[in-house]
Amino acid sequence: MKIFRGLLLSFILSIAWSSIAQSYLIKTHFDGTNNPPVPNYAKPTSWAALPDKKDYADKAPSKLTDNQTDAQADVFFIYPTTYTDKPTDSYLWNADISNQKLNRKTEESSILYQASLFNGSCKIYAPYYRQAHYSVFLTPSLEDKKQALELAYEDVKAAFEYYLEHYNKNRPIVIASHSQGTVHAVRLLQEFFMNKSLQQKLVVAYLVGMPVPTDSLPTIMPCKDSAQTNCFTCWNTFRRDYIPTYYAYGLNHAVCTNPLSWKLDEGYVPVSKNKGAVIPPSYTKVRPQLCDAQVHQGLLWITKPKFPGSNTIRTSIYHAGDFSLFYMDVRENVALRINLFLMKQ
């Protein structure tokens, strides 16, 4: 699969806004005889978010509303790598979904600041899965990387199959993902949507935080504007004029959407067009006009955003903010695309 072309070795060299040095690196090889228990997706506890479960995806910033009860479409959300610390059990390369400390970390980061933006127009389904440890992006062992990511994908696939059988009820589907989640989302789209009848139910896919080449999804094209459906968007955010050392590992041929214009061209979009960011630590506050955006050769460039505490942020890699810097822009865009999709039915 072309999404795996070398880029996984080097791409996530930062979990952005945090120090790589703090992440634990696994040095022993993958042991397929010692995997965490297989999740049972019939149990609500195997899901980080469900529409009828009280969870962090239900939360909404000030003056916004969780509309999942009346939503006419679903989002299947695959969260990024949160398994970065030294393992506390015997399962090294993949996380145990019963690890409550890790689950809380996932909920208070990705589910709160990413998945929740979809609750204005979607029912949110986000499975816990035996995510691969951060080490898969740094290990020189292709076999360790492959096996750990494969195990993680098995869960994502099983959760999606359970969702289709028990929850979907022939409703329109949005696929959304970030970072490691996007690696799995691309495979999911290839296996379940491309050249399959289910593609007709795809409203849009937000494949964020990982390079996605155009030819990864031959029958699902990159979205050309804010209103197109049955297409995908993708971006990876960096400070203006910065080109990462791992640029040639996939970013150089990645699709890049500007989430302020929803176009693929390199036109500059000023900060005045940014509808609002929702960033830590104040989830309840929407910060309008926080950053501009411009596509540059597969990268999404922004001018360093200014907010209380931003002077302490030294990184040029805004990976952690791929969704949250454009929280309101994505929230309004998914609502628009769903409405237009439903009008065509």
Bridge-partner residues for 126, per DSSP?
49
Query: What percent of the chain has a predicted confidence (pLDDT) above 90?
Result: 85
Residue 21 pLDDT greater than 50, yes or no: no
Is the pLDDT at 2 greater than 90? The verdict is no
Total domains in the fold of the chain: 1
Q: What percent of the chain has pLDDT over 70?
A: 93
> Region 219-224: what's the mean pLDDT?
97
Give residue 5's pLDDT.
37
Give the pLDDT mean for 160-187. Answer: 98
Tens of pLDDT, residue by residue over 232-275, are 999 999 999 999 998 988 999 999 999 999 999 999 999 999 99
Q: What is the C-alpha separation between 334 and 43, in angstroms, rounded?
A: 28
| Domain of 77, in residue numbers | 2-344
Residue 334 to residues 172, 192, 197, 291, 328, Cα–Cα distance (Å): 12, 21, 22, 20, 10
Neighbours of 54 (CB within 10 A): 8
pLDDT-based confidence at residue 128 (cuts at 50, 70, 90): very high
- Name the one residue in this structure whose structure tokens are 């460039």: 301
Cβ–Cβ < 8 Å for 102, 83:
yes
Q: Which two tokens stand for residue 48?
A: 């980080």
Phi (first) and psi of residue 231, to 5 degrees: -150, 180
Extract the tokens encoding 199: 């593609």
Do the strands 202-208 and 173-178 form a parallel or antiparallel pair, or are they unpaired? parallel
pLDDT band for position 223 (cuts 50, 70, 90): very high
Binning pLDDT at 50, 70 and 90, where does residue 10 land? very low
How confident is the model over 63-100, as pLDDT tens digits? 999 999 999 999 999 999 999 999 999 999 999 999 99
Which of 37, 34, 133 is closest to 91 using CA atoms? 34
User: What is the rounded CA–CA span in Å between residue 120 and residue 68?
Assistant: 7
Give the pLDDT confidence score for residue 22 in this predicted structure.
55
Q: Parallel, antiparallel, or unpaired: how do β-strands 299-302 and 294-296 relate?
A: antiparallel
The answer, yes or no, to whether residue 55 has pLDDT greater than 60, is: yes
Residue 108: predicted pLDDT? 96
- Token readout for 57 is 């995806």
pLDDT of residue 34: 93
Please state the three-class secondary structure of the chain as a single string.
CHHHCCHHHHCCCCCCCCCHHHCCCCCCCCCCCCCCCCCCCCCHHHEEECCCCCCHHHCCCCCCCCCHHHCCEEEEEECCCCCCCCCCCCCCCECCCCCHHHHHHHHHHHHHHCHHHHHHCEEEEEECCCCECHHHHCCCCHHHHHHHHHHHHHHHHHHHHHHHHHHHCCCCEEEEEECHHHHHHHHHHHHHCCCCHHHHHEEEEEEECCCCEHHHCCCCCECCCCCCCCEEECCCEEECCCCCCCHHHCHHHECCCECCCCECCCCCECHHHCCCECCCCCCCCCECCCCCEEEECCEEEECCCCCCCHHHCCCCECHHHCCHHHHHHHHHHHHHHHHHHHHHC
Task: Report how far Cα 268 is from the mean position of its chain's Cα atoms.
Answer: 24
In the prediction, which pLDDT does 18 show? 34
Q: What is the pLDDT of residue 308?
A: 78
Reported pTM: 0.94
Q: Which of 11-15, 193-197, 307-311 has the lowest mean pLDDT?
A: 11-15
Among 236, 223, 205, CA closest to 325: 236
Residue 12 pLDDT grade (very low, low, confident, very high; cuts 50, 70, 90) = very low
Contact call for residues 50 and 130 (beta carbons, < 8 A):
no
Tell me what the mean pLDDT of segment 278-293 comes to: 94
